[in-house]
A and B are shown apart, each in its own frame.
Chain A
Amino acid sequence: MADATRARERATAHVVTAHRWRWVEAAPWLVATGAFFLLPDYMTLGTQIVITVMFALSLDLILGFAGIITLGHAAYFGVGAYACGMLSAHLGWTEPVSALFAATLVAAFVGWLSGLVLMRYHGLTLLMLTLSVAILLQQLANTYSDFTGGFDGLTGIYFDPVFGVFEYDLWSHTHYWYALAWLAVVFVVARRIVYSPFGRSLVGIRENALRMHAVGAPVFRRQVAVYTVSAGIAGLSGALFAQANTFVTLDVLGFTRSGIIMIILILGGTGRLYGAFVGAIVYMVLEDELSKLTPEFWEFGVGLALVLVVLFARNGILGLLDRARSLLAERGR
């Protein structure tokens, strides 16, 4: 009897314990804290990395978990950035936290609206349509330059100190902790979602949408829901970007940004949350270092790395680490 219970426990452990925190999960936060004390002069880069991690995380929710492909995710990053910037520049809304909330809601709303159309399509059609949404928004931003600053960019963005206490500084130290705190909040939320029944159903849709229909899942509504959440998080990262840079240009909506965030996520590993961290850190640190040497070399290097990852490490850097670990475990036996 006890044997049977233990066998059942062993068989269900992978589900029962899936959501439990593991010690390694402290690593990104230790690295982030360590980086602050060891490399205080690099916190402008650090802030950009934190923002990019959050953006990549938003992409992981739809691409990695729900299997929704997109080449236009910068659309929501850009909407968040412009919404936040315009609140300050035009309306004088300079309280940073509430401005972030507002920008997040605007981006989520745009995500929901576009998702209602986009989620009816798959494959190449979806890819082209996501691309179109981003281009459309960029054109809109360009056309209505009275509001957005158009080609010259949106200036006049100013935000009060965080909670009225933490002044911004030249070294981005405040911005770094501010962005990191937001990332922690977003990460905990995303992690909750991913291990919940809702999150598992997204994985089911990624794995086999036909079967999900057949077990009664409202596939379309589920996809719209996660697309909305993802757009909101992308918008939050864009809003942080606007606050950190106090300047927004049209390239927040650009194809390059959509492409690079995809590269970053694939490089780190999709569908595992931490791929966003690894991909963003590796990509942006290398970019910062290598492009100082020779920009051509950097771009060539990115291309080559991507080819190698796609050919030999479909699950990204984290996938490689997993494989190395299981090889070592087998050796050990």
Chain B
Amino acid sequence: MSDFVLEADAVTKSFGALSVARDISFRLEKGARHGLIGPNGAGKTTFINLLTGVLTPDRGVVRLGGADVTRLTPEQRCRRGLARTFQINQLFPSLSALENVLLALTERDGRAWRFLRPLGQHADLIDEAMSLLAGLGLESIAARSVQELAYGQQRLVEIAIALASRPRVLLLDEPAAGVPGAESRLILDAIEALDPDIAVLVIEHDMDFIFRIARRISVLVAGAILVEGTPEEIAADPAVREVYLGETTHAH
């Protein structure tokens, strides 16, 4: 067993002629707070899909807790402690926020095959779900169906579902994108309040957000890691400034 809970080794993937992941090697240690930035279309979401098993790499290896998981399905990887949120919300739209979280909880707990005792009588899970929602400020809307919620709240439910899997590694794909300021703070607080042992990878375009959370940052450009370093190193890197920060500085 290595200290690296999640590891990508020379992972490569192309969609036809478009190569979206080129020899990406990457490591997340236990307790990491890692940022992944890069321009639109750089391949950040694709990389998360490769790590979680939504996509299979053409070459390279993905390891979770030291074990090769390259051929495992997303559900198998989830059960080994890998959880994620999606850039575009993936919720259970007609169900309540509480039910959304409960679905993930019953899976994590291995109770989702039980077909006799009603879910409503699994009081311990319901309590746990409510505490999770409360931690994200969602307690008061627990009974509302998520399709009726404001976008920022839906974003929080998306995170609540991922946390319900009680992951060792958490991958967040632009958790605060499109979320208004106040709720964006809630998301920041939630990430900061996470168990320090969980390894967290955050993709975000908002630099303030990423600099608040990340202790290390990788910059992905055109499917390859351009550079990795501390936030200060990344902010000072001329190459990064050129391809990435330069653009945003101009935009301001």
**A binding-site residues for B, Cβ under 8 Å:** 7-8, 10-20, 192-193, 195-201, 203-204, 207-208, 210-219, 222
Contact = CB atoms under 8 A, between A and B. Distances in A.
Given A17-B120, A19-B118, A211-B90, A216 B140 contact: no
A192 B115 contact: yes
B161 A14 contact: no
B119 A215 contact: no
Interface in B108-129: 108, 111-123, 126
Contacts of A10: 143
Contact of A215 (B73, B130, B143, B161): B161
A29 B164 CA distance: 41
A15 B75 contact: no
Contact of B111 (A197, A211, A222): A197
B75 A216 contact: yes
B78 interface: yes
A215 B91 CA distance: 11
B139 interface: yes
Interface stretch (B18-26, B99-107, B194-202, B214-222): B99-107
Contacts of A214: 52, 74-75, 78, 83-84, 86, 90
B119 A15 contact: yes
A213 B102 CA distance: 15
A192 to B, nearest CB: 6
B117 A196 contact: yes
Contact of B75 (A7, A204, A208, A218): A218
B126 A12 contact: yes
Nearest to A14: B143
A207 B165 contact: no
B94 to A, nearest CB: 6
Given A11-B140, A214-B83, 20 more contacts: A8-B139, A12-B130, A14-B98, A15-B96, A15-B102, A16-B123, A17-B120, A18-B119, A20-B120, A197-B119, A198-B115, A200-B99, A200-B106, A201-B103, A201-B112, A207-B94, A208-B91, A208-B93, A217-B103, A219-B75
Interface hub of B54, B76, B111, B112 (most chain A Cβ within 10 A): B112
Given A12-B98, A16-B126, A213 B119 contact: no
B210 interface: no
Contacts of A219: 75
Given A10-B143, A203-B95, A211-B161, A216 B116 contact: no
Nearest to A189: B115
A8 B90 CA distance: 26
Nearest to A12: B126
B79 interface: yes
B92 interface: yes
A66 to B, nearest CB: 13
A215 B95 CA distance: 16
Given A8-B130, A197-B111, A212 B116 contact: no
Interface in B28-87: 52, 54, 73-76, 78-79, 83-84, 86
Contacts of A16: 120-121, 123, 126
Nearest to A219: B75
A12 to B, nearest CB: 5
A198 B110 CA distance: 10
B92 A204 contact: yes
A11 B142 contact: yes
A212 B143 CA distance: 20
A207 B75 CA distance: 17
In the complex, the 3 A-B pairs of residues with the closest C-beta atoms, listed nearest first: A216-B78, A19-B118, A207-B92
Contact of A198 (B102, B112, B143, B161): B112
Contacts of A215: 75, 78, 83, 103-104, 107-108, 161, 164-165
A204 B104 CA distance: 9
A217 B112 contact: yes
A15 B143 CA distance: 9
Contacts of B99: 15, 200
A10 B118 CA distance: 18
B120 A18 contact: yes
